[in-house]
Structure formats: C-alpha cells, structure tokens
Structure 1
Amino acid sequence: MPDMFLEIVELDDGEIALRKADSDDEPIMRVNFSDHILEQLHEQHIDVAKVMLTAGIHMISDINQKSEEGQASDGSSDNTDDLRPKVIH
C-alpha cells in the first residue's frame, strides 16, 4: 500500500480538517468547535484540533491493523457486534 501524506488545514468556514496533502478532495475528518468553546480556547483551538485528529488517525490505524490480523488468522470476521447499537460515553 503506498504511503498517504496527510495535512491538517483550517477551512474557509473555520473548521479544522484532515485531508490528503496537496488535494482539494473532501476532508477525511473534520473538527468543529462551538462559539462558546472557541472563546474559551482563544487561539489554542487549532492545537486541540490537532490532538483530536492525531488520536483519530492512530485509532483508525489500530482498527485497520487488528482487522488485517483477524482476517489473516482465520480468514473470517465476526460481525455480531454490528447488530448492537453503539454506546458512546
């Protein structure tokens, strides 16, 4: 799989986004803060968004790696969790 280079950018509407470098394609992920939070963070909202996007990248990488390992070990995947609603805490 070829390397994918990503960049974090601030869009015209103020959202912070992750997208393929040197591309105008739809962003892969976006972070949007309420006006209230923007006031509290001052100019540090970009740093907070970077941390959030970086955590998302790592999580996606971990999920992909586990998926590849699971498929390599038995050739199948268990989709029983797909039937249950996701609980977000």
Structure 2
Amino acid sequence: MSSLLEIVELANGEIVLRHADGDGRPLINIRFTNESEMVSATARLEVAKAMIQAGMATFAEIVENQEEEAVFQAEEVYEGSEQELSREVVLH
C-alpha cells in the first residue's frame, strides 16, 4: 500500500483522508453541519486540510514523545543493570 494520501470530498459532502491507491476506506472522516453550507465548498476543504494537518502533527508529536520515553526507560534499565554488574563481590 502506498504512503501517498489524498483528501477527497465525497458526493454526500463528507471530506475524507484515504490512501490514494487503497481500497477507498477513509482514515479520517470530516462532516460539516448544514450551518456550514453558507461557507463555500473550497473554504470547507481548506478547513478540513488544516484540521487534518493539525491532527497529523499532533499524532506525530505523541508518537515521538512515546519513543523518547521508551528510550529513557531503556536507558534507566541499562544503567541499573550496569550498576549491579559493577559491584564487587568477595567470595570466601
């Protein structure tokens, strides 16, 4: 599956993010209320793009923070085991 994504407005007015060459199932669905009909379709698409970009940036930040936390925890475990190995043991 391609990593290329596309933003598409469907016939029902829903805007979706999906894989460009996939099965068409949306990764993200955005629906605007009837009240937003007074705003042009182009403006709704621009708002949807901004929403998707913000969501993806936030998701990437969360993943990065989780990865950093995993590395930090791994370093703590390694440092703890290193300290245990450096203890002198005297056998009689």
Same topology, TM > 0.5 = yes
Aligned mates of 1:25, 1:9 — CA distance in 2: 10
Equivalenced residues, count: 72
Encode CA deviations 1:19-70: one digit per residue, 9 max, x unaligned: 122112421111110011122x122111111111111111111111111111
Larger Cα-atom Rg: 2
Q: Which consecutive unaligned segments of at least 5 residues does structure 2 have?
A: 75-92
Q: Which stretches of structure 1, 4 residues or longer, exceed 4 Å deviation after superposition?
A: none
Instruction: Name the counterpart of 2:40.
Output: 42
Q: Kindly provide the amino acid, as one letter, of the partner of residue 62 in structure 2.
A: I
TM-score, structure 1 length as denominator?
Answer: 0.70
Q: Which consecutive unaligned segments of at least 5 residues does structure 1 have?
A: 76-89
Instruction: Name the counterpart of 1:82.
Output: none
Structure with the bigger percentage of helix:
2
TM-score, structure 2 length as denominator?
Answer: 0.68
RMSD of aligned Cα (Å): 1.7
Identity %: 35
